[in-house]
Each structure stands twice: as structure tokens, then as C-alpha cells.
Structure 1
Amino acid sequence: MTTAPTRRTTPKRRPSRGRKWIIAVLVLVALFVGADFALAAAGEYQVAQKMRTKLELTEDPSVRINGFPFITQALSGDYQDIEISATGVPVRDQLRDLEVQANLLHTRIELSNLLAGNTKGAKIDRVQGRVKIKANDLNRLVNQVTPFTDMAIEPDRRAEQPAEATAASRTTAAVKLTGNTTLAGRKISLTAYGTVTLVSGQVELAMNELKIDDVSLEPFIQQLKQALSIKIDPGVLPFTVTPTAVQVESGAFTLEGTVDDIPLDQGNG
């Protein structure tokens, strides 16, 4: 009678001291990252509350404190880039769907004051403000004269700006508008080319070329050009930034400007 060979059991290896240290470090890193994000979220909440009042919004804007780790910025009291954005912002009875954006570069405030919502004495090295006027609002404005639908905004690619634009050229941009309207009981599609110009904080549209898909209605072209040549008041940019440039992008006109060395509590609100 033969006996079955006995199996040798391999003893379980215990984690080496080096592996234990690696695991411990990973756990500490995870805890640090989690705490960093939690602290940043608390700061973002306080900024959102302040900006909601300052910009006279009905809801909290989106706020992001850029840069990692947050704790190093908090300890120095210098937040490199606080990014704020809000959509659907109304201005008077003219505009209902503005998109407002601002980047607060090097906001200087102690962490204890930030978390307490106390912004007195806080200062910003530079604010970059932007406002987007979208096609829906443009459609609403031109409808006051002529019933347009499906208005679309695009840059006029036929007149591209040079790579190094001068300060003067930044206040004017070439634009292409497309849409539909009804003339003499006929629905027509149109394409208009012109310029959008920044004048004293307002946007002025001037159409100098217009094409329609019904040649029999060409006598109405001048009337349509006038209907599309309007002024738009976008209101005040965040922190009362003075707009110094306008550009055309797909779906919107964008006004932008900067202001330096401003108290956080200055401006709107």
C-alpha cells in the first residue's frame, strides 16, 4: 500500500517594510488630496455666494479655484486664478441669455476670511471679464423690426484678422449672419456680411452685404440690411470692467476687457 506524498505548504509572505511604507504614503496622499479638494470646495462656495450678490444673479454662479494644491495658495493668501461663470443672465428688457465670465488673477485674502465669507480688504491683481451675446438674444432684438427666425452668428472667414491685431482692430470684427424671414408672403433664407464694432461699451452691427435665395425679392435687400443693423447694450461687465475688445465666435459676440489692482468688493453689488 502506497502513501500519498505530503504537500508542502508555502508559507505566506508578509508584506515587506518597503511595501508597508508605500501603502502608507498612498493613503496619506489620498487623504491630503481629499482634504485639499474639500477645502477648495468650501472656498468656492463662499466666492459663489459673494458673486451671486455682486453680479445680481438669481442663482449661484459656477466658481472654480484653479491650481493644485489649493492648500499652498490658502497658506500664502494668494489664489492664482478664480474662474467665475454664469449663464442666462438678463439685462434690462433687451437681453435674457447673456453668458458672463470672469477670471480673478491673484486674489489676495486670508484663508480664515475666505471661509468666513469676509471679503473686506481682499484685493485682486487683475480681473479679466467677458460677456457673450448669443444668437437667441440677437434674434429677439431684430424681431422688433422684422420677423426673423433661426438667426445664427459666425465669423466672416473671408476677412480673417492678422495674427497680431492692433488695439484699434480689436474693437471691430467681421461677422456673418444667417437666418430666415418672410417677405411678401414668401419664406426666404438670407446670409448677411458686415461688422460688429465696440463703441462706448455697446455693440453696433452694420451689414454691408446681404444675399437672399429669392432673386425676385432683391428690392427688399436694403430694408433687410437696415433691420439687421442694430445697437446692443450688454450692460456692465463683471467688476465694472471696461470692454476694450470684441470678437465673433460661432454662436455669439464676445466683449472682453481687463482691470488691474481692484478691491474684491468694488464694482457690481
Structure 2
Amino acid sequence: MRALRILLITAVILGGLFTLADRLAVGYAEREVAAKIRSSQGLSEEPEVSINGFPFLTQVVGSELDDVSVSADGVTARAGGHAIQVTEVTAELNSVRLNGLSSAVADRATGSARISYADLAKSAPKGASVSYAGAERAAKGQVKVSGPAVELLESTGVDVPGFAEGLLKGRTITAYSTVSIVGGDTVRVRAADLPGLPVPGFDGMLRDAVDYDLKLDGMPSTVKLDKALADERGLRFSGAGTDVRLAG
């Protein structure tokens, strides 16, 4: 009985030491992976990395991690020459194949990110503002784009003649535009409907003024976006991919 008790105590102690060693090892690995992601993805700060699953050490021996979570906030991207803030950037990576800690590739990944309306408007046509369009239109993936008619037209290089300027002066244009994702990194804004202008031939020019693309440079390449959802705080994007390079 005494020998059995000693064996049980020894097993508990060894189990505790193994757990401690495992947690120390995973903490070190998370820091190393975060640093490599920052370097390989060109981020301004290190993301938070969580290597899930227990035990970690046996996953390392098998050169494959079951699940890795990556999150970053305040990622600075560029769109149309303007710096914009991309927040709530997350990625869930599954079946991550390791080559030491020098490189890693995930079999599958899902990701999401958010851009505020204020940042979305930075690359909109001059004079345009972008805002929440209400629950019904948001459910259709639409946002509200509005601005002074004369300024919007002139932003596309249209020379508004004096008689037309007199008719349009003081008129605010409101368009409800559908947002979509093109190529995994470009936000496309296209007017679903536009008000008519009291100047013949200017309706097409107005559409050219409110339709625009917003290409995001500097987003983590682990997040390939394909869907956009509008809510009160801005646009939330999500996407998925396979064979996603995490580092290296």
C-alpha cells in the first residue's frame, strides 16, 4: 500500500512537471510565432497568438498543431494613398504543419476584420461621406454614400458649367451602395439606386462619382476576404482559405 501511495504521488508530481513544461513551451512558441507573423506580414505590432490543444509538446513532435488563433487590433493598412485602421483582425488556423518554428502552413483558415465608416470614407470621392444605411439596407450589404452634388461631380474631373452649378448648388446626393469584396483585398462600392439630377446627361457622371474601389494594402495575407457585412459600427469582412502560410 505504501509503495502504491508513493507511485501515485510520484505520478502526480511528474504529471504536474510535464504540464508546467508544456505550458512554458507553448508560451515560448506563441511569442516566437507572433514575432514571425509580424515580420512576414509586415504588421506594425505583434499579434496575439494562442496555440490551442493539450499537450503542446506531443503536437510539436508530430510537426502539426491542431488549432492556432491569431488576433490583432489597430492594423494600419493603406487604401487610395490614405492610412486606415483595420480593427478586430482575427484568424483561426487548423492543422498547422510545422517546419520547426521557421515556417508554418495551415491546411484551413477562416478570418475576419473590421473597418469603420470613417476609414471607409477616406478613400471615397472628395466630399462624400459613408455611413450606416439602416438595418433593412444593411441586411442587403448596403451603405449610405452622400455628399454635395457639385463637389461629387467635380471630384471625377467633371467641369460643371455655370447653368448646371446653379441648378445643383445646395443639393445633397444620397446613394445606397452595395459593398462587395473583389480579389480578397479590395472593397467595391457600387450604387444600387441614385436620385435623378435636374440636368440632362449628368446622371451617368454622378454614378461615376459615387462608385469606387478601395484596395487594402498592408492587411495580413492570412486573411483573404470574400464577404462583407454592414452594421452600426462599420463593415465587417470575413473569408476562408486553404494552405495558408502563417510564417516563413
> How would you bin the TM-score normalised by the shorter chain?
0.5 to 0.7
Q: Which one of the candidate residues 172, 183, 189 is aligned to 1:205?
A: 189
Per the alignment, residue 60 of structure 1 pairs with 46
Instruction: State the 1:141 CA deviation.
Output: 3.3
Q: Which one of the candidate residues 136, 139, 143 is aligned to 1:157?
A: 136
Give the Cα–Cα distance (whole angstroms) in 1 for the partners of residues 240 and 32 of structure 2.
Answer: 23
Per the alignment, residue 82 of structure 2 pairs with 94
Q: Which one of the candidate residues 88, 92, 95 is aligned to 1:103?
A: 92
21 and 245 in structure 1: CA distance in 2 versus 1, 3 angstrom threshold: same
Q: Which runs of 5+ in 1 are unaligned?
A: 1-15, 161-172, 212-218
Per the alignment, residue 179 of structure 2 pairs with 196
137 and 263 in structure 1: CA distance in 2 versus 1, 3 angstrom threshold: closer
Matched-pair contact (CA < 8 Å) for 1:146–1:227? no
192 and 127 in structure 1: CA distance in 2 versus 1, 3 angstrom threshold: same
AA partner of residue 175 (structure 1)? Q
Q: Which one of the candidate residues 63, 67, 72 is aligned to 1:77?
A: 63
Give the Cα–Cα distance (whole angstroms) in 2 for the partners of residues 153 and 24 of structure 1.
Answer: 62
139 and 263 in structure 1: CA distance in 2 versus 1, 3 angstrom threshold: closer
Could you say what secondary structure the match of 1:109 adopts? strand
Q: TM-score, normalised by structure 2?
A: 0.64
Give the Cα–Cα distance (whole angstroms) in 1 for the partners of residues 19 and 191 of structure 2.
Answer: 54
Instruction: State the 1:44 CA deviation.
Output: 0.6
Q: Which runs of 5+ in 2 are unaligned?
A: 149-169
108 and 191 in structure 1: CA distance in 2 versus 1, 3 angstrom threshold: same
Instruction: State the 1:240 CA deviation.
Output: 6.7
Q: Which one of the candidate residues 211, 234, 247 is aligned to 1:252?
A: 234
AA partner of residue 83 (structure 1)? S
123 and 198 in structure 1: CA distance in 2 versus 1, 3 angstrom threshold: closer
Q: Which has the higher contact order (CA 8 A, sep 6+)?
A: 2
Q: Which one of the candidate residues 110, 127, 141 is aligned to 1:174?
A: 141
Give the Cα–Cα distance (whole angstroms) in 2 for the partners of residues 140 and 123 of structure 1.
Answer: 34
Give the Cα–Cα distance (whole angstroms) in 2 for the partners of residues 158 and 133 of structure 1.
Answer: 18
Matched-pair contact (CA < 8 Å) for 2:174–2:194? yes
Give the Cα–Cα distance (whole angstroms) in 2 for the partners of residues 51 and 155 of structure 1.
Answer: 37
255 and 63 in structure 1: CA distance in 2 versus 1, 3 angstrom threshold: same
AA partner of residue 243 (structure 1)? L
Instruction: State the 1:62 CA deviation.
Output: 1.3
69 and 94 in structure 1: CA distance in 2 versus 1, 3 angstrom threshold: same
Give the Cα–Cα distance (whole angstroms) in 2 for the partners of residues 95 and 44 of structure 1.
Answer: 29
